[in-house]
Amino acid sequence: MPIYTVKPNEAISLPDIDPNQTGEVKGKKAAKKQLKKNIERMADLQNVLYAEGKQALLIVLQAMDAGGKDGTIRRIMSGVNPQGVRVTSFKKPTEEELAHDFLWRIHQKTPQRGMIRIFNRSHYEDVLVVRVHNLVPEAVWQKRYEQINHFEKLLTDNGVTILKFYLHISAEEQKERLLARLEKPHKRWKFNPDDLKERKLWGDYMAAFETAFQRCSPANAPWHIVPANKKWYRSLIISEKIVETMENLNMKYPQPVAGLDDVVIE
């Protein structure tokens, strides 16, 4: 399947990656059938991850507004045990958070062993929105790419597997999704007029994403660019990658205590 994994220091041109592609998947019906199997498999793997308690999985989701982060979480994680999953959405930093380095609030939310943690937006906002809106001097955010790489290496060296997904949609698809939020009463609550201001900065954001991909895609934590105009395809290929990654963790259930065959429960 055409999920694009960015190689270390590889220059990426997002306009060259078609967000409409669906690879060899034979339509929405076939995708949903396979997604169901993946969700079931993910639930089994999560049980082992939780029981073993030696490793953790961090899933990072980044996208433009209306890119599908919420929908991805809701769909793909529909079969897992809620006790073993935590979702964190990073909003505007608080005064306390601003009084620390930019990774301070992030590190507190990383997954403990046995857990899956999902970041809905992440530490990458500090080289994306911060860069686009000139919130700090360039000399400051330029250093953050290396700092992010060191931070992620610290995590992977300590048993955290990192999966970073960029949900790649077109400007036209974003327009349709924003219009849907306006036109459908049950979606109006999600519409924020500020999204239109951010939309005007599309080119600036694409440049910021491309730089982040080039400078922060080491072998231990590469970026995966997901064609995401088709929601059913987006969910399928992300679920495929998660299952593949978890299967490669070589997890095992802990050995039971000795003598269980002789236990009698009266």
Q: What is the DSSP string of 116-181?
A: EEEEES-GGGGGTHHHHTT-S-HHHHHHHHHHHHHHHHHHHHTTEEEEEEEEE--HHHHHHHHHHH
State which residues form the domain around 151. 4-250
Residue 22 inside a domain? The answer is yes
What pLDDT sits at residue 171?
A: 97
Count, residues in the chain: 266
Across the chain, which has 266 residues, the per-10-residue mean pLDDT values are 89 96 88 96 97 98 97 95 95 93 97 98 97 96 98 98 98 96 88 90 98 98 97 96 97 89 88
Residue 266 inside a domain? The answer is no
Residue 80 inside a domain? The answer is yes
Helices 69-76 + 27-52 axis angle, to 10:
70
CB atoms within 10 A of CB 230: 18
What pLDDT sits at residue 160?
A: 98
Three-state DSSP class for residue 72: helix
Residue 262 inside a domain? The answer is no
What pLDDT sits at residue 1?
A: 53
What pLDDT sits at residue 190?
A: 86
pLDDT tens per residue, range 224-247: 999 999 999 999 999 999 999 999
pLDDT tens per residue, range 37-86: 999 999 999 999 999 999 999 999 999 999 999 999 999 999 999 999 99
d(CA 156, CA 150): 10
Residue 91 inside a domain? The answer is yes
The count of structural domains within the chain is 1
Q: What is the CATH number of the domain that holds 68?
A: 3.40.50.300
Cross-sheet strand order for the sheet of 56-63: 4-5, 223-227, 160-168, 56-63, 116-120, 85-89
